[in-house]
Structures are given as C-alpha cells and as structure tokens.
Chains A and B, each alone.
Chain A
Amino acid sequence: MKNYLKLVNFEFNRIAKLFAVLLGITLVVQLTGVMVISKGYLNMANEKIYEEMMTKAQFLEDFGRMSFIQIVKSVWFMGPIALCIAGVAFYIFLIWYRDWVGKNTFIYRLLMLPTARLNVFYAKMTSILLMTFGLVAFQLILLPIENAVMKGMVPDEFRVDMGVIQIVNSVPELALIIPNSIVELILYYGAGLMVVAILFTAILMERSFRWKGIFAGLLFSALAIVVLIAPLLLQAFVLNSFFYPIELLGIEIVIGLIVLAASIWMSGFLLRKKITV
C-alpha cells in the first residue's frame, strides 16, 4: 500500500504542471467571460434605455433579466471545460507513452521497482482520477465566485439570482460533469473509470506487441463494447422488454464491474509477462 501511495504521489507530481495550467486557463477564461457577458448585457441595456429611449420596464419585458445561465451556456464558460476534457483525454495516453521516451527509458526503472507491477497501473489510474475530480472540484469552487462577480456587476432589477445548486440543476450540459446526485456521480465517473481501464489495457497491448498489439487492443475494446451493449440488445430484440428498467440498470452495473475487473487482470498479465522495454 505504501508503495502504491508513493507511486501515486510521484505520478501526480508529474502532472502537477499540466494540471495547474488547465486550472489557470479555466479561471482566467471563465472570469473574463463573466465580465464580458455582464458588460455586454449592461451596454445593451444602456443603449436601449438612454439612446433609444426605451423605458426600463419595456426593456425588461423585451429582453428579460440577465441570469447566470446565459454565462454558463456561452463559449467563455464551456470552452475551458472542453479544453480540460481534451487535456485529460490526451494525458490518458501520454501518461504511459512518456515513460518510453528517450534513451534510458523511464519505464525500465518503473518495472524494476520492488513492488507489484499492477501498482504502477493503479497509480496511473488514480492520477487520472485525481486530475479529473480536481478539475470538477475547482469548477465547483469557481461557480459561486463567478456568480458573485456577476451579482456585483449587474444591478438588482436586471438580474435573476440563482444559487449554485439551482444553476447546476438547470443546465443539462453541466449535469454531465456535475451530476445532480451522489448516485449519478458514482455511476457516471465509475463508467468513466471503466473506459480508462479499457484504454490502458489497449495501450499496454500495443506496448507489448507493437503492431499486432494495436490490433489486439482494438479487438479488446470492441469485445468490451459488445459485452456492455449485450443486455440492451437482448432486451430490445430477443426478450421483448422482459426486464424492468431498474433491473436493467442493475445488470449493466454488474457487467460494467466485470469488464473493469477483466481489464485490470489483463493489464496485470501484460505488465508482468509481456511488456517490452
């Protein structure tokens, strides 16, 4: 266990710089977005009321009040989130491949460590998880700050006040990364964990068998997908909606866990027996 934690710490320290950069970009771009959009609304209000001589009430009726949801749905807000997702996706591959770079490949030292080789796998997995949850947590901290900035900029009568929880509930796109309940959080990110495990296994297959490995990796992924979809296909075409929806969810969760376990086992096998440096 201690070895695992040391490895996690080591892996995380390697990502720390990338992570900090993503956090920084998110902070700067989103805050700028809040200010730009709020100012834009105020400018429009000013123009309509003072230049076109519209009354305040008329303006509010035609254009409505400003709400934080407008900011959330804009590119200023969603852009950094998309960037972070791309960053994590990119690093899922890089976290392995960077160890093979150079003359004295680092992977050689990792594999020579006096610890179960699966610990290397677990540590890399945990680091990806930490980075993902870290970004989500950072977003959760940013939201009330950004909300306060908007409140500071737009006067009372022109805005609709919403709490963070209300905002998250009202924007379906946000609900993908910040689901509405703990149950959904565990289900969504658990599914993500399984996907990362499958990807790791495919990467290890490539590192073990090179060209044949890529093919094996794709085959493994395809097999995993088939196994996961199987209950849904059965339900629709063979069994005539035999299962109640909640039973189907239970079945899918069990199958997901099985696929996760199979990926971990396969990765362990490859790390111990087949990997090439």
Chain B
Amino acid sequence: MRKYWKFTAIFAVIVLSIGTFYVNSARSAEQYPEFEIQTVSGDAKEVKPVVLEGAYTNTSSMNYVSTNVKISAKGSAYNSRSFLDQIVGQSPTLIKEFQKKYHTFMRGKNSMVNSFFEDQQFLVYADVENKVSSLLSHDFTFQLSVLNKEDDSISSFKVKVPEAGELDHIFVEDVQLMGDEIILITQNTMRENDTFYDEKHIYTIERGNHKITSHEAIIQVPQGQLDTRIDVELVRTSPAKANDHLIMVKTERKVMEDPDGDAMTEEVIHQEILSYDLQTKEKETINLPDLQLDENQLSFYDGAVIYFMTIEGQELVVTPYSLADNQAGQVYRIPLSGEEGIAHGQMTTVKGGKLYVASSQMSPGLKIDADVIVADAQTGKTLFKGKLAVKDASEQPENFEVYLNEIVVK
C-alpha cells in the first residue's frame, strides 16, 4: 500500500478541493438584492400588472458582468447565470411565451417581436430571406408561416418579393392579418443608378393561395440634401395586435457639426405626421402644428388614439389624438424625476386606456432614480407614482446600476 500513496493522495486532494469549491459555489449563489416598485403616491393596484425587464450590475467590485432581472410590484426575479440558461439565451418576453406555447411552430424563427402577429385563431410569422446571387442583384424571398391554433396545423410557404430589381435591402417591420390577407409592412431601400432612397412598402398576401395580391409603396423618403437627413418611422403599436391604420412620422433633420468639438448635433427642421388606412390604402396628414417630436420611440398608437409623447425638460408631454374624430385631445404633462431639469431615458406603453411610464435607468451612484408612473391615458391624471427601490434598504450594495429595456403590462 505504501507505493500507492502518491496516486491516492492526489486523487483525494482533487476530490476534496474541487468538491468543496463547487459545493460552496452552489450554496452561496450570488446574493442579489431584491427590488420592488415602491409607492410614492396613488393606488398600488394600478402597478400590479407591470413587469420591467432589464439588467443589474454590481459596480462596487471591478466586475462589469450584468445579470438579467425582472422586477414587478411585488418583487424581483433574477435569471440565474447558469450555463444552461446562457445556452438558452435572452429573448423578449413575448417570444419566450410563444416558444413555450407553440414549440414546434417556433423552430427556426427569428426573435423579433415585430415579425409575429397573433389573434384568437392564428399565429403568423413573416421574414425576408436575402440570397445574394451576384454583386449587383439579390434575390429576396418572403418566408411565411401560419399556425392555425384550432387544429394545430402549420402552413409554411415562400413568396418571391416582386419587382425586386431596384431593391437593395428589405426588412419586415410589421405583420398583420386582416381576414384572409396577410399584410406585411416593410422598410425597403431602393437603388436608382447610384442613389439610394428608402421607402415604406406594403405587401398583401392571400393566406389561402399564397400569392401576393397587391403591393405598393406607402411613402417614399427622399434623400436629404448634403447636411439634412430625412427619416420615416412607424409609431409603435402593440406588437401582436392588428390595427387598421399605420401612423408614421416623417422628420427632416439638419445635421450640424458642433463648433466646439467633433460631435454632430441634429435639429428638427420639419416634421409631418401621416396616417395610412390599410383597407383603403389612403394617406392622410395629421395636422398638429405645435407638436414637435424629438424622438419617436416614446409615442404609442393603441388602435384608436395616437399618444404623441416627447420629453421637455423634466416632463413627459402627451398629446392624445383621436383618429376617428380627427382631433387632438387636451395636452397634458407628467412630471418625471431628473436632475437639473433634465429627465433621463423613459419607456412608455399604453394599455386599457392607461398610460404606463418607466425610467430606463437606475443608478444611485449618479443619483438617477427610476420612476414608474401609471396615468389615465385620456386625461393624464396620475393614478400611481412609484419608484424602483431595494426592498430592504440595509441590503443595498454600495454601488450598482440597473438598466431597464422592456416594460410589459400583463
């Protein structure tokens, strides 16, 4: 037995030390603080359906690894950073739900919420495949998949993008199903000789016989002059719902070089708001001369009313506009927390006649607080005002940051 000592010794050392390490590692899973949405004023019931998703980083140590966290009124849940979870990956909440409910259908589908449409009976998916056949020409094909929820049948088919001669690039911005027609709203980049211009395009595809019944350009974005830039953006809507109108904001911006440094600043010169009726394929301009949206990603269209939102100083200015009445309602302002009159990034959404606003950043070290506000979408009356806080103040780490990127109202 004496001559076996080296081998047994090393074996014992290995088992003991690696074993102890992993037992300890499993036991002391990193202590993350528990967050909640603390009520500052108003009815806490209003914030019950709100879930915020983002990433938490403990910046006290020199560790810049972040962990995904879901925070709701009651508390927070962290995504364990276990290996298997990392393989599964991060996708938006809606995509994860689809993957759970419709496992087979979701195979091979991309993770963009805008590529999907869901109603009682169907789940529709649309994407564009780009085959580069030579330096100048591409072959674009729409790939569609329709799941009939009632009998679990899946119909997948491809349709070539028509008149793709001048098309340089195309991607699907929204998918809708109206009756038996699948409607794809796309952002196309067209190439005419040497110039490029963008346009928003609509393709209508018959669900039954898989053919494109019609397609046309909704709006073309002319190329700006040397120092101007023109964008057309769709106003956000609830991703899986159908709307019979598309609201677009066309903004012309002047790009200037900052005299002090190399930074470029932009100034809005001209803005136009258009509504496009998906049934009649007609465009109409919405006249709101006093409205200037510096960025578009805050506004929301819930199918009946367009809520134009922009941040002015430390307030969220909301202009509700009823499409049916063709009239703007009363403009209201919601105060946000911030410093020196500047509010930080926000996320907004509208559901069930209520407006939900949440800050996208919480950094106690930089004195940035994260608000959560629920207001009546029509009148702007604040129903709930709260902020993100660590449940047990004594557990609060020295320095941390939370960046939020999704607000979901169940």
Contacts and interface: CB of A to CB of B under 8 A. Distances in A.
A137 B4 contact: no
Interface string B1-42: 001101100110110111001101110101000000000000
A105 interface: no
Interface string A44-76: 000000000000000000001001010000000
Contacts of A187: 83
B60 interface: yes
Contacts of A19: 10
A239 B108 contact: yes
A69 B62 contact: yes
B17 A130 contact: no
Interface residues of B, number: 33
B393 interface: no
Contacts of A244: 88, 99, 107
Nearest to A67: B62
A216 B156 CA distance: 46
Contacts, number: 100
Contacts of A242: 107-108
Given A141-B17, A160-B61, A241-B108, A9 B3 contact: yes
B22 A181 contact: yes
B61 A180 contact: no
Interface residues of A, number: 44
A130 B83 contact: no
B25 A180 contact: yes
A244 B60 CA distance: 36
Given A8-B7, A134-B14, A178 B21 contact: yes
Given A162-B61, A169-B30, A239-B108, A180 B84 contact: no
B289 interface: no
Contacts of A162: 61
A160 B14 contact: no
A178 B81 CA distance: 15
Closest 3 CB pairs of A and B: A137-B17, A170-B63, A12-B7
Interface of B: 3-4, 6-7, 10-11, 13-14, 16-18, 21-22, 24-26, 28, 30, 60-63, 65, 81-84, 87-89, 99, 107-108
